[in-house]
Amino acid sequence: MTTLKRVDVHVEGLVQGVGFRPFVYSLANRLGLAGRVHNDVNGVHIEVEGAHDGVEEFLTALERDAPALSAIERVTVVSGEPAGHRGFTIATGDPAGPRRALVSADTATCDDCLRELADPADRRHRYPFINCAGCGPRFTIVRGAPGDRLMTTMAAFGMCDDCAREYHDPAGRRHHAQATCCPACGPRLLLRDPRGTELCGDPIACAAALLRAGRVVAVKGLGGYHLAVTASDERAAADLRGRKHREEKPFAVMAADLAQARLLAEIDDTAAALLTGRARPIVLLPRRDSAPTGAPTGAPTGAPTGAPTGALTGAPTRAATGVPTGGLAVAPSVAPGHRSLGLMLPYTALHHLLLAELAEPIVLTSGNVSDEPIAYEDDDALTRLGGIADAFLTHDRAIHQRTDDSVIRLLPGAITMLRRARGHAPEPLALRRPVPRPVLACGAELKSTFCLAQGRRAFVSQHLGDLENHDTLRTFVESIDHYCGLFGIRPEIVAHDLHPGYLSTRHALEITGVEHVGVQHHHAHIAACLADNGDPGPVIGVAFDGLGHGTDGTLWGGEFLRADLAGYERLGHLAQIPMPGGAAAVRQPWRMTAAYLRDDHPGLDVTRRNVGRWADAVHLAATGLDSPLTSSAGLLFDAVSALLGIRDKITYEGQAAIELEQRADPVETGAYPAALTTTSGPLIVEAGDLVRAAAADLTAGTDPGVIAGRFHNGVAAAITRTCVALRQATGLTAVALSGAVFQNALLLDRTVQRLRAAGFRVLKHVRVPPNDGGLSLGQAAIAAAQDHT
Ligand SMILES: [Zn+2]
Ligand SMILES: [Zn+2]
């Protein structure tokens, strides 16, 4: 006779709404075990009993074979007396009490669902809202209480008998799939004109026809509306730019599949895995057609005749109709002046159907005007995008949380998250050690996120955007409440930036009954990098950034800190330089060139282009009038960008530096020198040396691409020399790189190479952005570390 064994198993982590209970049910049945499984406030609770060996195998397989979307954080097993269960059941009760369970990020349509989508015999054939327990909308439709359909925007759709049967079938792949639906009971796709009137005909075929005809179509996605045009259509892309008031910032492109994407960009194995992974971010990749630098050429419009319709994996037809050898054409206005292209693959069934119908890639850019937040409510979308889109491909499933596409940049052997949103939020990042008391960190101002930390989990919100925009600020405040409710967190500590004018700081200080912790901007960047890597420090932190509030009343941004999570010391920085005209110097990079060069190189083009204003800027810099001092690395890049004639004034944040990187000759190995000086205080990097060397080369007729290359290498060399000097002073052998300037792949690559060659261990960002989007994680880590002491 076999010995009977009974255990109570508690599983914590991301285990609700991911098919975990059906998985447990089939596992127990396969092993002939009895008992029950149910969701509770912390995760999943299992009572299981049967033969000793069977229970042992159950416990092993529970972690080994868990569903792909789940993420087990902890399993607790308690043995007990067998209760005489007969069979194994799934309990569906609604847990009461404070919530600790997690919510998955939205997930791309899975292969099983794609097969059904393409199968004429399936009842969901060509149904744009097909999903299952392993894929589909999640975070964006959740209103509250994880794991309950009534608390999602799918509550508006009562399930038909067929869907209800699948929903309750423990063995099926739609068991407790909160968003499951079908054509008989689920959301309906429709095409509207800008006044909201429904257009007749098949919405997908009509939308595709409009796109072929050069029109702009708004498409409702998971986290908001996008605006689409055919990617090869220059007139349409230029139209879209004009209507969106988006002058130069590159558009993202969606391709039907990997094969079509390969016609547009160089895609290695890492890129392919990212593009086809369940998060489906926009991935910045080297484009196949070289970046056009001249004026836009002709305006090819219209569709290739006889484009196949209906097939889900239609081969791109333009490849066969006379496009440049080796790739599909992307219209010049899509990503002007850029050697890389932001690419993504379809992540909803609606995208799959539209791309297959159209048989060529589309521009898919945020549904907004200029820098406003992306539209996600139907009426608001019609109002705000009515002047941009010629039609709206939309549906009646509401979006609850506005969520942009995530953006990732690839380096050889490294990934940099530039924007963390759809597909990643709200999944928590694991902390090295638990926080003593729950923390809310309010982040910065642009590229805003907040972070809630409790236990070992840090929930970094999705990218929210610029808080100076009223709508974004409202979302910021509401989303903090939403996250607190979802995850059962009541912050006792509230961390914020030192900048008193940031709206995030003001919001933090308005929260009463909590302890407030002010965090220096660049310390927060380095702490974010430490938390990102699960490293406690101390390190030499290199924070190369735009502008941040320093503790000495000046603006910092090119900082070398001795830092751990609890504190920091400023050991070095770029030499301070006046910003002639203050904020005007951010919008007009040529002013920084004037601040650096003054009247040293009178024959330069940048002086001629700004004749009449140059002398004023030099005067402001020389007298210090209306010229705050800064050690910003971002503005150093701006100064060189304007010097080389790349960008005298900008239309989006970071543009001058981004375009400077795009112009840099990647094979150039020369490096401009910069002196290191010191008196008694911090080490000073004489960044002006780099600008003067660049000006001398330019005067000598050197190619701007070569100069940009030498400048990048010079900055990397200066960082390394400074770190070597600080290693001698401190004994620290690890360097953490953070700040918006390290979004620059060329600089990051060169800096990492040089630091490693000098014997340093180098930490860089992986899971959160080096820009201000990652700042809230650093603030939370610092507040928690200080709470420990
Ligand atoms: Zn699926
Ligand atoms: Zn149904």
Q: How far is the CA of 161 from the centre of ligand 2 (A)?
A: 7
- Per residue in 269-295, pLDDT tens? 999 999 999 999 999 999 987 644 433
Give 430-487 as a DSSP string. EEEEEEEEEEEE---STTB--EEEEEEEEEEPPP-B-TTSHHHHHHHHHHHHHHHHHH
DSSP lists the bridge partners of residue 541 as 561, 736
Task: Label residue 525 left, alpha or beta by phi (over 0 means left) and psi (-120 to 50 means alpha).
Answer: alpha
φ, ψ (nearest 5 deg) of residue 533: -100, 0
- Looking at all shown ligands, the one closest to residue 113's CA atom is 1
pTM of the shown model: 0.88
Distance CA(598)–CA(578), nearest Å, equals 11
Alpha helices in 520-673 (DSSP H): 521-533, 584-587, 590-597, 605-609, 614-623, 633-643, 655-663
Torsion of CA 580, 582, 586, 587, to 10 degrees: -90
Q: Is the bond preceding 308 in cis, omega lying within 30 degrees of 0?
A: no
Distance CA(495)–CA(472), nearest Å, equals 20
Give 568-591 as a DSSP string. EEEEEEEPPEE-TTTTHHHH-THH
Sorted by sequence, the CB contacts under 8 Å of residue 260 that are 6+ apart come out as 316, 328, 360, 361
Distance CA(307)–CA(212), nearest Å, equals 10
DSSP structure class, residue 404: P
Residue found under tokens 């995030």: 504
Q: How far is the CA of 501 from the centre of ligand 1 (A)?
A: 46
φ, ψ (nearest 5 deg) of residue 117: -60, -35
Q: How far is the CA of 43 from the centre of ligand 1 (A)?
A: 22
- Per residue in 231-245, pLDDT tens? 999 999 999 999 988
- Per residue in 357-375, pLDDT tens? 999 999 999 999 877 889 9
Torsion of CA 770, 771, 773, 776, to 10 degrees: 70
Q: Provide Rg for the chain, Cα atoms.
A: 28
Q: How far is the CA of 96 from the centre of ligand 1 (A)?
A: 29
Share of the chain above pLDDT 70, in %: 93
Structure confidence at residue 43 (pLDDT): 83
List Cβ<8 Å contacts ≥24 apart for 371-374: 371/465, 371/466, 371/469, 371/652, 372/469, 372/471, 373/402, 373/464, 373/465, 373/469, 373/471, 373/472, 373/475, 374/223, 374/224, 374/225, 374/402, 374/404
Q: How far is the CA of 132 from the centre of ligand 1 (A)?
A: 4
- Looking at all shown ligands, the one closest to residue 172's CA atom is 1
- Looking at all shown ligands, the one closest to residue 157's CA atom is 2
Structure confidence at residue 514 (pLDDT): 97
Structure confidence at residue 82 (pLDDT): 86
Q: How far is the CA of 117 from the centre of ligand 1 (A)?
A: 10
Closest CA to 440 of 379, 392, 507: 507
Sorted by sequence, the CB contacts under 8 Å of residue 425 that are 6+ apart come out as 105, 139, 403, 460, 461, 462
- Looking at all shown ligands, the one closest to residue 349's CA atom is 1
φ, ψ (nearest 5 deg) of residue 131: -160, 175
- Looking at all shown ligands, the one closest to residue 165's CA atom is 2
The sign of the dihedral angle between the CA atoms of 116, 122, 125, 127 is negative
Q: How far is the CA of 379 from the centre of ligand 2 (A)?
A: 27
Distance CA(698)–CA(695), nearest Å, equals 5
- Per residue in 481-515, pLDDT tens? 999 999 999 999 999 999 999 999 999 999 999 99
Structure confidence at residue 371 (pLDDT): 77
Distance CA(729)–CA(371), nearest Å, equals 45
Residue found under tokens 């609606």: 350
Q: How far is the CA of 177 from the centre of ligand 2 (A)?
A: 12
Q: How far is the CA of 70 from the centre of ligand 1 (A)?
A: 14
Q: How far is the CA of 358 from the centre of ligand 1 (A)?
A: 23
Q: How far is the CA of 115 from the centre of ligand 1 (A)?
A: 9
Distance CA(610)–CA(597), nearest Å, equals 14
Structure confidence at residue 305 (pLDDT): 34
On whether the CB atoms of residues 244 and 369 are closer than 8 A, the answer is yes
Q: How far is the CA of 16 from the centre of ligand 2 (A)?
A: 22
Q: How far is the CA of 168 from the centre of ligand 2 (A)?
A: 13
Q: How far is the CA of 295 from the centre of ligand 1 (A)?
A: 45
Give 365-388 as a DSSP string. EESSSTTSPPP-SHHHHHHHHTTT
Structure confidence at residue 2 (pLDDT): 61
The segments of the chain whose pLDDT lies below 70 read 1-2, 17, 92-101, 146-147, 290-327, 413
Q: How far is the CA of 785 from the centre of ligand 1 (A)?
A: 41
Q: How far is the CA of 160 from the centre of ligand 2 (A)?
A: 4
B/e letters for 51-89, b = 16+ CB within 10 Å, e = fewer, are: beebbebbbebbeeebbebbbbbebeeeeeeeeebeebb
Sorted by sequence, the CB contacts under 8 Å of residue 60 that are 6+ apart come out as none
Q: How far is the CA of 167 from the centre of ligand 2 (A)?
A: 10
Closest CA to 328 of 316, 346, 341: 316
List Cβ<8 Å contacts ≥24 apart for 150-158: 152/178, 152/179, 152/400, 153/397, 153/398, 153/399, 153/400, 154/178, 154/179, 154/181, 154/397, 156/396, 156/397, 156/398, 157/181, 157/185, 157/186, 157/187, 157/397, 158/185
Structure confidence at residue 147 (pLDDT): 67
Q: How far is the CA of 113 from the centre of ligand 1 (A)?
A: 4
**Token digits for 499?**
């900048």
